[in-house]
Amino acid sequence: MLSFPAADVPDEALVAGSWRRGAGAPVETVDPATGLAIATVHAVTVEEVAEAAEGAARAAADPGWRSLLPHRRARLLHRIADLIEETAEQLAALQTADTGKALTETRALVASAAGTFRYTAAALETAEESITPSRGDYLTMSVFEPVGVVGAINPWNSPVASDAQKLAPALAAGNAVLLKPAEWTPLVSLALGRLVTRALAELGLPPGLLSVLPGRGSVVGDAIVRHPCVGKVTFTGGTATGRTIAHAAADKTMPVSLELGGKSPTIVLADADIEQALAGVMFGVFSSSGQSCIAGSRLFVARERYDAFVGELVARVRKLRVGPGTSPDTQVAPLVHHRHRDTVAGYVDLARSEGARVLCGGSAPEGEAYRDGAYYLPTVLDGLDNASRTCQEEIFGPVLVALPFDDEEDLVRMANDSVYGLACGIWTRDHRAAWRIARRVDAGTVWINTYKQFSIATPFGGLKDSGLGREKGRDGMRAYQRQKSLYWGTSDAPLPWAN
């Protein structure tokens, strides 16, 4: 069994199949719960990105990989899943140390990553190409071929699951991948790189099919996006960075998939099951310490239930247990980094200046146990207009803004008054109202009487400034391929002008 004990924390980059210390600046990774350094990872340079991209292009073109039959390529995905499951506890512990997330969550994320590889392997083996209807003396068909080299750029909030969500379909589609982890949280991506390189070696496949390239996004990510060998970029992260990538991709006429920010509404109608809604609203925004693009950070409650619902919500939020991710009792873990905690605190200060009432939270917790960690109390605000910056901008922390609504028209107007369109939650016993609102709200995913439930089999993505394209589902692999049409003549007669 592979192991990643403290003495063997992965701290080398993977460049075109070669493990090495990056030639760039050192970046210290820090445990958000304690403020203590875990490891020092050296960033790769632009030259090393170029080396990785050129190595990936060679690996992607290798006949032994490019012509590998789907069921044999699926063996690679299953083997990676096996190795993830064998090292699940080590991977979960590493991600908790690197991101601060609770172990209960990181264990679930590791299991999800293994499941993503297995689902994608099954989808690969059963994927079909198509024969299209003929309109003449020929047979037509569509086939799908790999892009070649894929640049996969991921955020810091859920590295192992995000990595799998891009790696599995990109490899299944026959590509090589340049994986760029977030600067603050590279360790799990590097650990996953070890597992993938082991699987590649066991199956005799080119080691350059994966590179893991740590460093700053403005340097390493930009070099990946702009390298001529890279034929597609898939990015999860902030909207501003996504726009920058889209502009660079346009210059290359290169396809991109962008999973960006959110400011998702969660809606409590007057007839909702209150116990179910209270638990769902809290889970929707305070799990992951609010560091989730789909967090239900804008709460809309029917005015006749508003005071009672928000009052009970605040009472329960005050009881949430804040602590280190390693504690089994923790419900709200530290934020990923002290700088990010300060950004969240700055947004709460902004809310105060905009006239918000801080109903609970609104500061870092006090006490010796919290002194060195990047902690912030789960916070509920109200008294703001939906047009305020606090209600419009993504905070990415444990901060919920509550607003009343008068009727369905008022609700839909406010819910859609956002540049984002990623997710939405609806709590109601009225299936007709749920259907109407779900269809009217601008969101790529709508949960009804549940929240933050995911299936790798169900497409995911956003509208407006929340992104472009879809991941997951049976068609998720096709996003990493190019479609080619073939015509096969069936007539012996010569074409016109043959003589």
Rg (CA), the chain: 24
495 part of a folded domain = no
28 is catalytic: no
What is the pLDDT at residue 499?
57
470 part of a folded domain = yes
315 part of a folded domain = yes
With 70 as the cut, is the pLDDT of residue 52 above it?
yes
Question: At which of 419, 448, 477 does a domain end?
Answer: 448
Q: How far apart are CA 136 and CA 338, in angstroms?
A: 66
Q: Determine the residue type at 50.
A: A
Domain count, the chain: 2
Is 324 found in the same domain as 177? no
453 part of a folded domain = no
With 70 as the cut, is the pLDDT of residue 258 above it?
yes
Token output for 420: 């984002």
Name the average pLDDT for the chain: 95
What would the pLDDT profile of 298-308 be if each residue is shown by its tens digit? 999 999 999 99
What is the pLDDT at residue 63?
95
353: CB partners within 8 A, 6+ apart: none
Q: How far apart are CA 186 and CA 196, in angstroms?
A: 15
490 part of a folded domain = no
Is 302 found in the same domain as 166? no
Token output for 497: 């002008």
Is 270 found in the same domain as 386? yes
Q: Among the options 48, 105, 183, 259, which is catalytic?
A: 259
Residues 297-323 have a mean pLDDT of 98
Phi and psi at residue 438, in whole multiples of 5°? -60, -40
Task: Find the angle CA(171)-CA(172)-CA(174) to the nearest 5 degrees.
Answer: 65
Is 335 found in the same domain as 218? no
Q: What is the CATH number of the domain that holds 129?
A: 3.40.605.10
Task: Work out the angle between the directed axes of helices 70-86 and 159-172 (0-180°, nearest 10).
Answer: 160
Is 255 found in the same domain as 274? no
Domain with 329, as residue range(s), is 265-448
Token output for 432: 């007709």
Q: What is the pTM of this model?
A: 0.95
Is 328 found in the same domain as 232? no
Is 393 found in the same domain as 320? yes
Band (pLDDT 50/70/90 cuts) for residue 332 is very high
Q: Determine the residue type at 30.
A: V
Is 285 found in the same domain as 213? no
458 part of a folded domain = no
What is the pLDDT at residue 498?
58
480 part of a folded domain = yes
Complete edge-to-edge strand list for the sheet that includes strand 298-302: 357-360, 379-382, 399-405, 298-302, 265-268, 423-427, 445-448
13: CB partners within 8 A, 6+ apart: 19, 20, 21, 22, 41, 42, 43, 44, 48, 190, 211, 212, 213, 214
Q: How far apart are CA 362 and CA 121, in angstroms?
A: 46
Band (pLDDT 50/70/90 cuts) for residue 2 is very low
Token output for 41: 């990872």
What would the pLDDT profile of 474-491 be if each residue is shown by its tens digit? 999 999 999 999 999 999
Question: At which of 421, 448, 475 does a domain end?
Answer: 448
Is 424 found in the same domain as 300? yes
What would the pLDDT profile of 199-231 be if each residue is shown by its tens digit? 999 999 999 999 999 999 899 999 999 999 999
What's the Cα-to-Cα distance from 21 to each of 59, 76, 153, 333, rounded to whole Å?
22, 27, 20, 31
Place of tokens 């210059």: 251
Q: How far apart are CA 142 and CA 484, in angstroms?
A: 6
Q: What is the CATH number of the domain that holds 284?
A: 3.40.309.10
329 part of a folded domain = yes
Is 234 found in the same domain as 118? yes
Beta-strand (E) ranges in 147-268?
149-153, 176-180, 210-212, 232-236, 256-259, 265-268
Q: Among the options 183, 229, 293, 424, which is catalytic?
A: 293
Band (pLDDT 50/70/90 cuts) for residue 6 is very low
Is 270 found in the same domain as 250? no
229 is catalytic: no
- Return the bridge partners of 235, or none: 153, 258
What is the pLDDT at residue 497?
78
Is 431 found in the same domain as 398? yes
Token output for 145: 């071929």
